[in-house]
Amino acid sequence: MGLSRRDFLRVSGSAVAGSALGGLIGIGADLGPARARAQELRIQDAKATPSLCPYCSVGCATLIHTIDGQIVNIEGDPRSPVNEGTLCPKGAAIYQLHMNPNRPTQVLHRAPGATDWDVWDLERAMDRVAELVKKTRDETFLERLPDGKLVNMTPAIFSLGGATLDNEWNHMQQKLMRGLGIVAIENQARI
């Protein structure tokens, strides 16, 4: 039987690792404290801030660890009765949501007919959105139906909210939309 050098190293390495692990377990070594200590060192100087997972309406609690304002770790909050520290695969990937180098961090606007995006400052973008909402509402507002029934609504604006926002924001969004007379409101929030 021919044994290549690669096969020999693979078998030898596995045998040595198995023997070492078996020896540790055989003498009753508990690796749990070492694992716990490694976890502590990873976030030792970090500030933990409680938050919620943004992906669905379950509202799993998370702990966001930051050092000097930079996110270094996001994990489930073990104190939560909702998820008891566990997160689904999407929730476990929250860190990538915040630290993704491809994530847009500026307001981009593409004018009608244009092929390129322009960078706008946030104030200009918010003013433009408010201007368009007011214009659309003023042009399409219905005070009464043709039969005389009072409705005070606009059929031209649709509001889409979601679980990526917290309950308080979704509550305020509902109040704002209803105050504008918008009746087409879809929201996954727990309100």
pLDDT in tens, 162-189: 666 667 777 888 889 999 999 988 876 5
pTM above 0.85, yes or no: no
Residue 22 has pLDDT above 90, yes or no: no
DSSP string covering 58-75, please?
T--EEEEEEETTEEEEEE
Residue-level pLDDT at 62: 93
Per 3-state DSSP, the chain is made up of helix, strand and coil in percentages (nearest 5) of 40, 25, 35
- The highest-level CATH class for domain 43-103 is alpha beta
User: CA Rg, the chain, in Å?
Assistant: 28
When pLDDT is cut at 50, 70 and 90, the band that residue 31 belongs to is low
Where do the domains of the chain lie? 43-103, 105-134, 141-191
Whole-number Å distance between alpha carbons of 28 and 21: 11
Question: What's the pLDDT tens digit per position in 71-109?
Answer: 888 899 999 999 999 999 888 888 888 888 888 889 999
